[in-house]
Amino acid sequence: MADNVFIALQNIPDAQPIIEAIVEDNPGAVVNETPGMVKIDCPGRLVVKRETVEEKIGRAFDLQELHINLVSLGGNVDEDDDEFVIAWGI
Protein backbone atom coordinates (compact mmCIF):
# COMPACT_ATOMS: atom_id res chain seq x y z
CA MET A 1 0.00 0.00 0.00
CA ALA A 2 2.75 2.42 0.87
CA ASP A 3 4.35 1.61 -2.46
CA ASN A 4 1.36 2.81 -4.46
CA VAL A 5 1.64 5.75 -6.77
CA PHE A 6 -1.47 7.54 -7.97
CA ILE A 7 -2.76 10.06 -10.46
CA ALA A 8 -6.06 11.89 -10.17
CA LEU A 9 -7.75 13.45 -13.20
CA GLN A 10 -10.98 15.37 -13.69
CA ASN A 11 -13.83 13.04 -14.64
CA ILE A 12 -14.87 14.97 -17.75
CA PRO A 13 -15.22 13.92 -21.40
CA ASP A 14 -11.97 15.66 -22.43
CA ALA A 15 -9.96 13.53 -20.01
CA GLN A 16 -11.47 10.14 -20.93
CA PRO A 17 -8.84 9.31 -23.59
CA ILE A 18 -6.07 9.87 -21.02
CA ILE A 19 -7.85 7.73 -18.43
CA GLU A 20 -8.42 4.93 -20.96
CA ALA A 21 -4.77 5.07 -22.02
CA ILE A 22 -3.56 4.81 -18.42
CA VAL A 23 -5.81 1.80 -17.76
CA GLU A 24 -4.55 0.12 -20.93
CA ASP A 25 -0.84 0.72 -20.27
CA ASN A 26 -0.81 -0.10 -16.55
CA PRO A 27 -2.14 -3.58 -15.81
CA GLY A 28 -2.00 -3.09 -12.03
CA ALA A 29 -4.08 0.06 -12.14
CA VAL A 30 -7.09 0.33 -9.82
CA VAL A 31 -9.62 2.94 -10.90
CA ASN A 32 -11.68 4.83 -8.33
CA GLU A 33 -14.37 6.85 -10.02
CA THR A 34 -16.32 9.66 -8.37
CA PRO A 35 -18.58 12.19 -10.07
CA GLY A 36 -15.83 14.82 -10.14
CA MET A 37 -12.59 12.94 -10.23
CA VAL A 38 -11.00 9.68 -11.29
CA LYS A 39 -8.22 8.47 -8.99
CA ILE A 40 -6.01 5.74 -10.40
CA ASP A 41 -3.80 3.85 -7.95
CA CYS A 42 -0.97 1.64 -9.15
CA PRO A 43 1.69 -0.38 -7.34
CA GLY A 44 5.16 1.11 -7.78
CA ARG A 45 5.01 2.67 -11.24
CA LEU A 46 2.44 4.34 -13.49
CA VAL A 47 3.13 5.52 -17.03
CA VAL A 48 1.14 7.77 -19.37
CA LYS A 49 2.20 7.11 -22.96
CA ARG A 50 1.67 9.76 -25.61
CA GLU A 51 1.18 7.19 -28.37
CA THR A 52 -1.63 5.38 -26.56
CA VAL A 53 -3.41 8.64 -25.78
CA GLU A 54 -3.10 9.66 -29.44
CA GLU A 55 -4.77 6.41 -30.50
CA LYS A 56 -7.69 7.09 -28.15
CA ILE A 57 -8.07 10.80 -28.80
CA GLY A 58 -7.70 10.60 -32.60
CA ARG A 59 -5.28 13.51 -32.96
CA ALA A 60 -1.73 14.56 -32.12
CA PHE A 61 -1.32 14.94 -28.35
CA ASP A 62 1.28 16.79 -26.33
CA LEU A 63 1.84 15.04 -22.98
CA GLN A 64 1.88 18.45 -21.30
CA GLU A 65 -1.85 18.68 -22.08
CA LEU A 66 -2.18 16.24 -19.17
CA HIS A 67 -1.85 19.18 -16.80
CA ILE A 68 -5.09 20.74 -18.02
CA ASN A 69 -7.08 17.92 -16.42
CA LEU A 70 -4.67 16.89 -13.64
CA VAL A 71 -6.05 17.12 -10.12
CA SER A 72 -3.15 15.58 -8.22
CA LEU A 73 -0.49 12.91 -8.30
CA GLY A 74 1.58 10.98 -5.79
CA GLY A 75 5.08 9.80 -6.60
CA ASN A 76 8.28 11.04 -8.17
CA VAL A 77 8.00 12.16 -11.78
CA ASP A 78 10.17 11.40 -14.78
CA GLU A 79 8.93 12.85 -18.05
CA ASP A 80 9.94 13.19 -21.67
CA ASP A 81 8.05 13.80 -24.89
CA ASP A 82 6.78 10.24 -25.10
CA GLU A 83 6.18 9.11 -21.52
CA PHE A 84 5.10 10.66 -18.25
CA VAL A 85 6.23 8.26 -15.51
CA ILE A 86 5.17 8.38 -11.88
CA ALA A 87 7.17 6.05 -9.62
CA TRP A 88 8.91 6.01 -6.28
CA GLY A 89 12.65 6.44 -6.04
CA ILE A 90 13.36 7.97 -9.46
Partner 1 sequence: MSIDLKTASIDPIRQTFDHLAAKLGPDKKPTRYHEANWGLQPQLNFHYRPTWESDKNLYDPSRTAIVMADFDDLVDPRQYYYGTWTIQRGKQQDSQEKNFDFVEGRGLLNGLDEAWKEKIRQFVTPMRHVAWGANTNNSYIGAYGFGAPITSACSMHMMDELGVAQYITRIGLVLDDNDPARLEAAKDLWMSDAKWQPMRALVEESMVTKDWFELFVLQNFLIDGTVHPLVFDRFDREVVAHGGAVFSMLSEFMADWYAESARWVDAVLKRAAAESDANRELIEGWIAGWTPRVQGALLPLADFALDGRGAETVDGIVDDLMARAGKAGLKV
**Footprint on this chain of partner 1 (rule: CB under 8 A):** 13, 16, 34, 57-59
Based on CB atoms, which residue is closest to partner 1, 34 or 89? 34
- Comparing CA positions, the residue from 15, 20, 19 lying closest to residue 69 is 15
Based on CB atoms, which residue is closest to partner 1, 5 or 22? 22
CB of 87 to partner 1, least distance (A): 29
Based on CB atoms, which residue is closest to partner 1, 4 or 16? 16
Q: Report the alpha-carbon angle 52-56-57, nearest 5.
A: 115
Report the C-alpha gap between 90 and 82 in whole angstroms.
Answer: 17
